[in-house]
Amino acid sequence: MARLIKTEKEVEGRYTEQWIVIEEDALDQWPEGPLNVVGQSVPRIDGLQRARGQAPYTADIQLPGMLHAAVLRSPHARARVEKLDLRTALAAPGVRAAIGPDDLEQLTDEPSYPGHPVAAVAADTFAQAQAALTQIELEWEVLEPLLDPDEAVRRGSTVSETDTYERGDYERGLAAADVVVEAEYRTQVVLHNSLETHQSICHWENDGLTVYISTQYIWGVRDAIAEKLELPPDKVRVVCEAMGGGFGSKNGPGDYTFIGAELARRTGRPVKCALTRREENQATGNRNATIQRLTAGARSDGTLTALGGDFVNAVGWTGWSPSTEGPMQLLYACENMRTVNHGAKLNSPPNAAFRAPGFVEGTFGLECLLDELAAKLDIDPLELRRRNYADSDRMDDRPFSSKNLAECYRRAEPHWERRDEVRARSEGPWKRGVGLASQVWYGGGGPPSYAWLRVGADGRAQVVTAMQDIGTGSRTAMAQIAAEELGLPVDRIEVSLGDSSRGPFASISAGSSTIPSMGPAVRAAAADAKRQILEIAAQRFHLEERVLDLKNGDIVSSDGGSWPLEEITGLLEDAQILGKGARGPNPTGMRVLTFGVQVAEVAVDTETGEVVVDKIVAIHDVGRVINSLGASSQVEGGIIQGIGHTLSENRILDPETGAVLTQTLDAYKLPTIADVPEIVTDLVDVPDPHLTNLGSKGLGEPPIIPTAAAIANAIRDATGADVRSLPITREEMLRALREAAERERHGAPAAV
Amino acid sequence: MELLRPSSAAEAAGALGNGSRALAGGTDLVPLLRDGLVHAETLVHLADAVPRGIDGTRIGAGTTLAELEVDPRTPQALRAACAQAASPQLRAMGTIGGNLLQATRCWYWRLDFPCYLHGGDRCHAKDGAHREHAIFGNAFCASAHPSDIAAALLALGASIRTTARELSLADLYRLPTEDDRDVTALAPDELILELEVPASETSVYLKAMDRRKWAFPLVGVAAARTGAEVRIALAGVAPIPWLLPTIDALDDATPLPGTAYKVEIARALVRRALAGLGASAR
Amino acid sequence: MNGGGYAVDAPVGRSLAQVLREDIGLTGTKLACGEGHCGACTVLVDGVPTLSCITLVHTVGEREVTTIEGLRDHPLVAAFVRADAVQCGFCTPGQIVSASALVEANPEPSKDEIRHAMAGNLCRCGTYPKIEEAISMVTETRSSSSRGALASKADVQPRPSQDA
């Protein structure tokens, strides 16, 4: 029965209250451990298509008569458009339409960050559109930008109210401490750099709008466009069959889609608006920089008596202030806490969710602080974490639906115990060490999400749902879940996704939610189809339904009977069995979180500041694992992005004008294959007994969260140097080494 | 725009000047043309016009870095510099002649800020973001020369033969000044045809970069030794490839606030390079 | 191209990548940066891995161009799928093209040689470990590291031991 409830919905750590209709989740979880298909290592079912370059990315779609848009973006961080004349651009070769701030809400005459869209043209070719932009007559009044986040907070320039959280008595907790450490940590802006840039094609047809778009959320794009353009939502069709990476930056339609829609409306032709790499690295979002001023107090036995943090998120012109304080609030059983979150509004490009926004940054600060505290207390860092283990959620006094972090710690031990051996391999200027850091994050997903499943006469099944596979392998995971429930080999399952007009509502692919939100709906749909198949089989074979089951493509009975599935489905001829499934509710009164720990081994060249990550062991608890092969890829991908964040990636602004200086991929340094350490993935594959019919949580984000802190702690172990600022470039490493040498000479500064 | 494909060096030189540009691997020129940082009515494609390959101590200017990287006849420092330069595809496309003439990676210059090298009236890097910039020769322009190969060739004492003359590699480059903002002494209609790289007993190239491969040098150190004579040259430290008379000359560096770390790295790498040559630090 | 031939009418300045994708309709070759930094557009020109986004089509002339469409049945394609060296897949065709040139030139590449040859193909999803595995599946990976071209560097600069 459908039930209307008001519930908390969490995406990327942001909670909202909303009404949703849910259906009860009547299925029991499968028994623990690997099953026939689920939990096995299954290569992607669309891998061949992608590897051969045949997958239909938005970038590859060419519609008849399609025009190309180019966007004039402000080169200034803050300016006023004094004069704008589109007439010469309109007269340029190939140009079909040109629009400015008077024509569209998304175009501005008061640009407030570099890359802010001001005008746009549509032309027969992209080159013509770009050339026409240079013909636009434009005069600016350039204004002084606000770029310093502390200054912004002082001036009250923030994107939201300052958010203060307290529990217990922070001051008393500090006073009760035998040791207090204070430190300031900084993290930089990093850029998503999905290899397929943000882009869409807008095509007005059948008195509605069809949008082909590289997106993580087909339904979110549909609803946002319908609302803005005042269209009935079912007049907006959103299509994304393959997309080239998102990492959190592609959750909505973006300015470019509204620009494309308007140009398409004016020209009566489909319009593609595809961003260049340089536009991508200015105007499509970023992981915002942070300044974290942290304090930890502990008794001499290691019990944390107080944790405090003042967090400044350098959000940009718009966006939201991520929960950089989240790890501090959730990871340890500290009774006394005060955190303050400021979201600085600046004349810099808006942030966007980027793989565990806030928690990646906050974990760097918190987990480095814990190691600094451990050093002061002379307690083993792993032991310090165990002594402050949280058995329940201290924020709302709720039990965890499941938590196997202690098991993660246990599995980390043999890797952690290598540190004497690793340190002993230091030689000459190369110093070696080992560090670890814990991880906490959401990842439980939630309702609503729906799936259909069709079984045809040939005994093949098709999962139909309007979700998207952003490159994580969701399509394959859904096929495995359906195959497991139906007792079919995975190659007899198709998955039809990526089109809002060809399937029911499906979850966003963000916040590590695709598997925990969609997987249970797919399993429920398969179970529904299975029930119908067995009902029919029971009638056909004059047997009781309860003695029948589906296994390896056969209908089997408890007395040893076995019939190929097609024997029943074949009766249907062109008709099909249709199963329907919905995602049930999350467990009430419980906190659903993911956990983990990573152990890093590094080598540091103390003369040149080079840091080499030799090995990362990643141990995470994300409930039941659906595809062990795809899961290891997610872990490796998160760690490699984490290494980029830790060592080489940095969006650099010109301090005077605010211009983005690192727009290109020679200047903005993503990791290459040569930067990859040995990565050991170890997942605690235990279903969460309270979460859905699968017991699975999401894995997209957890692996990137502890990497930076584990590396920084390994660097401290190797060299004694405190690296508190990301990225740990040569100059930062050499600075920290100098500071450590200085401290050595003058004796350690006293603990506060 | 038109593209010519001359079949001889003389024909190519005749087609240069008057707003035309020589095109070899195109790895730098093609993006610069597209960005409007370089303008050309005519492209003169050099595939059939300049020598390619190694002949004794001579290297054809049209030889790609990838070819030099795998050729055992390539002097050690040059071979190491080629192997550590750019990416495999860029090495496969880019020629050694073109590599010597590549433009700076200074982000202000690449983004067309009105800096000295673009005919403007200031160096934006000095007051701005400059962690990748110069520690020597930066009084006027603080850009850093990105060629690993040029530093290696400078240490190896290479000279070049052009369509007009022969000159030492050191004379190919000069620091930009108020009056002449070019970093090379090549005339617009002059082509590099060949390099002459005298044999040295041993040579090395060491490089510090932001990731382990495929990055321009923060500091590149080339050193070559013949008998007691040692030559050291640096990449990424000045607007041009930089000859370092001795390791002590690093004391005379004039780093910007954000490039002081490069002096430290250079010192370590020069020491290692000299040790690698079996030469003392003095 | 891919064993056939094409006559192309294009203005000077048009890139090989544009001609492949827009004029001929071979969209397996991807454009991700458009300025020679990421490797997504890699094709073979006379067997040499080449960035088609910064190659002017007029300089290609009569040379043989091989794109991912010409390598559809290369053993590397199946190996990439089997090893899960495909996440979003946008860089994958370029990776396979680069890898095909590597295994052609060096049927037994070491891990370091794989990394050396593949460093110009960026993957934001982080499939790199699986790419190494996929290449190893079609080759006989030697366990010892190669010294070769990098010997002079490794000899004089102290490095972590497994990297020498």
Which pair of structure tokens corresponds to residue A637?
A: 């991908």
Q: Which pLDDT belongs to residue A645?
A: 98
For residue B8, give the 3-state DSSP assignment.
coil
Question: Touching B: which chains, 3+ CB pairs < 8 A?
Answer: A, C
- Residue B6 burial (C-beta neighbours within 10 Å; 0-12, 13-18, 19+): buried
Question: Touching C: which chains, 3+ CB pairs < 8 A?
Answer: A, B
Neighboring chain A residues of B124 at a CB cutoff of 8 Å: 654, 656
Neighboring chain C residues of B66 at a CB cutoff of 8 Å: 48
Contacts of A230 (CB under 8 A, 6+ apart): none
Of chain B residues 174-213, which have a CB less than 8 A from chain A?
Answer: 208, 210-213
The CA distance from C53 to C43, in Å, is 10
Chain-chain contact of B210 with A729 (C-beta, under 8 angstroms): yes
A535 is catalytic: no
CB atoms within 10 A of CB A64: 6
For residue A493, give the 3-state DSSP assignment.
strand
Q: Does C41 touch chain B (CB under 8 A)?
A: no
Question: Which of B67, B79, B89 to mutate to test binding with chain C, by most C CBs within 10 Å of its CB?
Answer: B89
Interface confidence (ipTM) of the complex: 0.97
Chain-chain contact of B92 with C157 (C-beta, under 8 angstroms): no
Chain-chain contact of A640 with C87 (C-beta, under 8 angstroms): no
Identify the H or E element spanning A131.
helix A126-133
Q: Which pLDDT belongs to residue A255?
A: 98
For residue A339, give the 3-state DSSP assignment.
strand
Q: For chain C, give the percent of residues with pLDDT over 90.
A: 80
Residue C153 has pLDDT above 70, yes or no: no
Identified catalytic residue from A137, A701, A739, A742: A701
What is the average per-residue pLDDT within C90-114? 97
Taking the alpha carbons at both ends of chain C, their separation in whole angstroms is: 40
For A695-733, how does the pLDDT look when each residue is reduced to its tens digit (9 = 90+)? Answer: 999 999 999 999 999 999 999 999 999 999 999 999 999
The CA distance from A476 to A694, in Å, is 16
The CA distance from C27 to C21, in Å, is 5
What is the pTM (predicted TM-score) of this model? Answer: 0.96
The CA distance from A121 to A701, in Å, is 38
Residue B52: φ, ψ to 5°? -135, 135
The CA distance from A483 to A481, in Å, is 5
The CA distance from A598 to A613, in Å, is 13
For A185-238, how does the pLDDT look when each residue is reduced to its tens digit (9 = 90+)? Answer: 999 999 999 999 999 999 999 889 999 999 999 999 999 999 999 999 999 999
Q: Are A292 and A134 in contact (CB under 8 A)?
A: no
- Amino acid A239 reads V
Q: Does B221 touch chain C (CB under 8 A)?
A: no
For C133-146, how does the pLDDT look when each residue is reduced to its tens digit (9 = 90+)? Answer: 999 999 965 444 44
Work out the mean pLDDT of chain A and round it to a whole number.
96
Residue A748 has pLDDT above 90, yes or no: no
For residue A157, give the 3-state DSSP assignment.
coil
The CA distance from C137 to C142, in Å, is 12
CA distance B49 to chain A (A): 30
The CA distance from A627 to A474, in Å, is 10
What is the average per-residue pLDDT within A66-94? 97
Looking at the DSSP bridge assignments, the partners of residue B184 are B173
Q: Which pLDDT belongs to residue C149?
A: 35
CA distance C163 to chain A (A): 9
Chain-chain contact of A674 with C31 (C-beta, under 8 angstroms): no
For A643, the closest chain B residue by CA position comes to B211
Which of A607, A652, A669 is facing B129, going by the closest CB pair? Answer: A652
Chain-chain contact of A608 with B124 (C-beta, under 8 angstroms): no
For residue A138, give the 3-state DSSP assignment.
strand
Question: Which of C90, C132, C137 to mutate to test binding with chain A, by most A CBs within 10 Å of its CB?
Answer: C90
Q: Which one, of A615, A610, A611, lies nearest residue A681 by Cα?
A: A615
- Residue A558 burial (C-beta neighbours within 10 Å; 0-12, 13-18, 19+): exposed
Chain-chain contact of C116 with A633 (C-beta, under 8 angstroms): no
Work out the mean pLDDT of chain B and round it to a whole number.
96
Q: Does B39 touch chain A (CB under 8 A)?
A: no
For B103-146, how does the pLDDT look when each residue is reduced to its tens digit (9 = 90+)? Answer: 999 999 999 999 999 999 999 999 999 999 999 999 999 999 99
Chain-chain contact of B30 with C55 (C-beta, under 8 angstroms): yes
The CA distance from A680 to A695, in Å, is 24
Q: Which pLDDT belongs to residue C156?
A: 39
What is the average per-residue pLDDT within B50-62? 97
CA distance C160 to chain A (A): 7
What is the distance, to the nearest Å, from the Cα of residue C51 to the centroid of all Cα atoms in its chain?
9
Neighboring chain A residues of C69 at a CB cutoff of 8 Å: 52-53
Neighboring chain C residues of A664 at a CB cutoff of 8 Å: 33, 35, 37
For C128, the closest chain A residue by CA position comes to A673
What are the b/e assignments for A426-464, b being 16+ CB within 10 Å? beeebbbbbbbbbbbbbbbbbbbbbbbbbbbbebbbbbb
Chain-chain contact of C126 with A638 (C-beta, under 8 angstroms): yes
**A749 band by pLDDT with thresholds 50, 70 and 90:** low
Residue A736 has pLDDT above 80, yes or no: yes
Sign of CA dihedral A244, A250, A255, A261: positive
Q: For chain A, give the percent of residues with pLDDT over 70.
A: 99
Q: Does B34 touch chain A (CB under 8 A)?
A: no
Q: Does C162 touch chain B (CB under 8 A)?
A: no
Question: Which of A666, A670, A734 to mutate to test binding with chain B, by most B CBs within 10 Å of its CB?
Answer: A666
Residue A589 has pLDDT above 80, yes or no: yes
Phi-psi region of A702 (alpha: psi -120 to 50; beta: other; left: phi over 0): alpha
